[in-house]
Amino acid sequence: MRRSHPLFTLLTATVLAIAFAACGGDDEEPAAGGGGAAAEPAQEEASSTQIKPIAGAEGKTLTVGSKNFTEQYVLAEIYAQALEAAGFKVERQLDLGSEIIANKALEAGEIDAYPEYTGTALTSFFDVKTADVPRDAMEAFEQAKAGYAENNITALPPTPFENTYRLGMTKEGAAAVGNPTKISDLKPNASKLSINGFPECRQRQDCLLGVQETYDMKFDKFVSSNQKYQVLDSGDADVAFVFTTDGDLASGKYVVLDDDQKFFPPYNVTFAMRNDAVEKLGPEGQEVIERVQKPLTEKVMQELNARVDVDKAKPADAARQYLQSAGFVGGS
């Protein structure tokens, strides 16, 4: 079945909301006489959004890296292409591997920056136990920022979206158990439901064990598989551990349950950058990074991931479409 592509619609709504918030709203009535008067501010907004070359950037080279999965490729390309639009020369080292490998490359100066998740940084690099990670997104970021600073790395401000765990179901499966909206709603039926997760999830405190303990419920059966959406679609499991920005969620076939007990840590993205590279980037370059992140909501990131995982677009093309649709770069 051919998939619709709502990226432009999602971005238009997001960009307009950002612009409205920046202006502090406007209580005045719109001018009479059709849509022309309303269109002019929108055109001016699009023009002001476009990334302009930064004086002195053309002589500077930055190396952007990424870890080894779709969202990382897309994010790295968004940052790289935005920096290129600002006049920097950008080299890419994508698909480095796990967070441990990517962070070592960053510390060693093999790359200048890469996108990392705040919760991952805290638990993987700074010895924070999952249970001790702040559940407030900005607190988690500030803690990660402080940890990075001790290693001469700057954590740039985080993305609006986070890619964290949730529990998901098909819409049909959810309807069969009363249309739950949050994880605690599963408790009355948990003993009759099977749950899917990656193999190690069964024994991990930050996965199945912790969810069952936190929500005081026990599922009937654990189905071990990395193909979570196939398992849900086939009916082999009723519930699955999903990531909030999975491309499959853009299909609208699934229900994502809210983590009402705040069990899962926040996983917003920070563009982690070596301090010497931050100096090269300068304040205007940092502002470019922050600007291109602003429209990255959970829904937009789902759609970008779907462009690659479902539609088989190249990550560089998905990133380019995003930057063009949001008005950051020219093209069509």
Apex CA 39: angle with CA 38 and CA 44, to 5°? 110
* Residue-by-residue DSSP string for 283-311: HHHHHHHHHHHTT--HHHHHHHHHHHHTT
Indicate the pLDDT class of residue 205, thresholds 50, 70 and 90: confident
How is residue 162 annotated by DSSP? B
Tokens of 52: 């302009």
Burial of 182 (0-12, 13-18, 19+ CB in 10 A): middle
Average pLDDT over residues 204-220: 94
Indicate the pLDDT class of residue 57, thresholds 50, 70 and 90: very high
> Regarding predicted confidence, which is higher, 14 or 270?
270
pLDDT reported for residue 331: 80
Query: Hey, CA dihedral for 294, 267, 95, 315, is it positive or negative?
Result: negative
Query: Hey, CA dihedral for 218, 223, 224, 225, is it positive or negative?
Result: negative
Q: Shortest CA distance to 188 belongs to which of 196, 178, 198, 197?
A: 178
pLDDT reported for residue 130: 87
* Domain 57-162+266-325 bears CATH identifier 3.90.1150.10: no
Model confidence at 58: pLDDT above 90: yes
Q: Shortest CA distance to 256 belongs to which of 221, 287, 302, 290?
A: 302
In DSSP terms, 93 is beta-bridged to 65
Q: In what order do the strands lie in the sheet with 89-93?
A: 89-93, 61-65, 113-117, 269-274, 153-155
Indicate the pLDDT class of residue 214, thresholds 50, 70 and 90: very high
Note the pLDDT tens digit of each residue in 78-103.
Answer: 999 999 999 999 999 999 999 999 99
How is residue 236 annotated by DSSP? S
Burial of 318 (0-12, 13-18, 19+ CB in 10 A): buried
Please give the Cα distance from 269 to 118 (Å, whole number): 6
Decide: 64 and 88 in contact? Cβ < 8 Å.
no
Domains 57-162+266-325 and 165-257 in one fold: yes
pLDDT reported for residue 36: 43
Decide: 153 and 181 in contact? Cβ < 8 Å.
no
pLDDT reported for residue 15: 52
Average pLDDT over residues 128-149: 96
Please give the Cα distance from 137 to 119 (Å, whole number): 9
What does CATH list as the number for 165-257? 3.40.190.120
Average pLDDT over residues 102-119: 97
pLDDT reported for residue 27: 45
Domain ranges of the chain: 57-162+266-325, 165-257
Average pLDDT over residues 117-141: 94
